[in-house]
Structure 1
Amino acid sequence: MPHHPPQAEEELAVLDALLADLAPDAEHLLPFLHRVQERLGHVSPAAIRYAAHAFNLSRAEVYGVVTFYGDFRESPVGDTVVQLCMAEACQAVGCRDLATHAESSLGVQLGETTRDGRVHLEAVYCLGNCALGPSVRIGDDVHGRVTAAAFDTLVAAATSTRGAA
């Protein structure tokens, strides 16, 4: 049996637990990857190899699924993910200005994580809240008609909640 560093052994144990109640059929690949993303925050190269073996697929097939769906991440991001809708409906009501404010407020560009690792800011292209743009999703919560001041308040609340947990 190959020797794995302690961190790799811990990840393998987590992956084993996430797979435990799923049949090794390719139809369960997406539920497994969602579990991995939720538990580990991203789908690592080790998780891609693991899934390929577990579901009898090539690593390329699993990697193709991970890269096809925008919600999967291949590397860790900040503790709090803040998504700004940049779709046309939100552009019509000021999301570009909101994005400029968000980048300035957090000191990062879209697609980056703050230096302290607390907030990851990213663009998305529709949160399904078109009538209430500009829209922002923080975690699982979607907020509409977000102003610069509301953005700062929402991010502060989300990061203070995370820090206290």
Structure 2
Amino acid sequence: MAAYPAWDPDGARAIVSRLAHLEGATLPILHALQEEFGHVDPQAVPLIAEALNLSRAEVHGTLTFYHDFKTTPQPARVIKLCRAEACQALGCEQVVETLAREHGIACDDHHRHDAVVETVYCLGNCALGPSALVDGELIGRVDADRIAGLCQGRTQ
């Protein structure tokens, strides 16, 4: 599980300055900020807009269009559970229902502080579904008990 430093406007400015020369720099800057801080604080919008001569609306639109960009600090562990058709055929919806019913864990509920289970559509591991991405590692044949254990900080 990644531990990120607190949002730092000076550190953010340094990242923006370092990448502003790139063609199409908005996405590389957003990715770098999220990689550094674990999220892109809304304070970054005017910094990026000014550096790239864009409107704040353009930067905000890019930030909010892509679901992987987060504007608030995230839980210590984010588990991405595939809910695409192949994983549905292999039982992912039963995993989701059991997580909610037996473990009190709802997919896409960002109110938990220790972990969150997010829905994604296709991790490219269809033959071993249901699949999940945990701390950057792809795992297959997950069930509700395994996901609940991962939410509680147990290893894969």
Task: Give the structure-1-normalised TM-score.
Answer: 0.78
Aligned to 1:118: 114
**Is 1:30 equivalent to 2:27 in the alignment?**
yes
Match of 1:148 among 136, 144, 156: 144
Structure with a larger share of its residues in helix:
1
Instruction: Say if 1:15 and 1:36, in contact at 8 Å, map to a contact too.
Output: yes
C-alpha RMSD over aligned residues? 2.3
The alpha carbon displacement at 1:109 in A equals 2.1
SS of 1:82's equivalent in the other structure is strand
Supply the AA of the counterpart residue of 1:124.
Answer: V
CA distance in 1, matches of 2:137, 2:111: 20
Supply the AA of the counterpart residue of 1:93.
Answer: L
Higher relative contact order (CA 8 A, sep 6+): 2
Aligned to 2:92: 95
The alpha carbon displacement at 1:105 in A equals 5.6
State how many pairs are aligned.
150
Query: Compared with structure 1, are the counterparts of its residues 95 and 84 closer, same or farther at alpha carbon in structure 2 (3 Å cutoff)?
Result: same
CA distance in 2, matches of 1:32, 1:105: 41
Match of 1:128 among 109, 113, 124: 124
SS of 2:35's equivalent in the other structure is helix
Instruction: Say if 1:78 and 1:114, in contact at 8 Å, map to a contact too.
Output: no
Task: Give the structure-2-normalised TM-score.
Answer: 0.82
Structure 2 unaligned segments of length 5 or more: list them: 1-5
The alpha carbon displacement at 1:41 in A equals 2.0
SS of 1:109's equivalent in the other structure is coil
CA distance in 1, matches of 2:25, 2:102: 40
CA distance in 2, matches of 1:90, 1:136: 10
CA distance in 2, matches of 1:114, 1:105: 18
Match of 1:138 among 109, 116, 134: 134
Instruction: Say if 1:113 and 1:120, in contact at 8 Å, map to a contact too.
Output: yes
Stretches of 4+ aligned residues off by more than 6 angstroms: none
Supply the AA of the counterpart residue of 1:110.
Answer: C
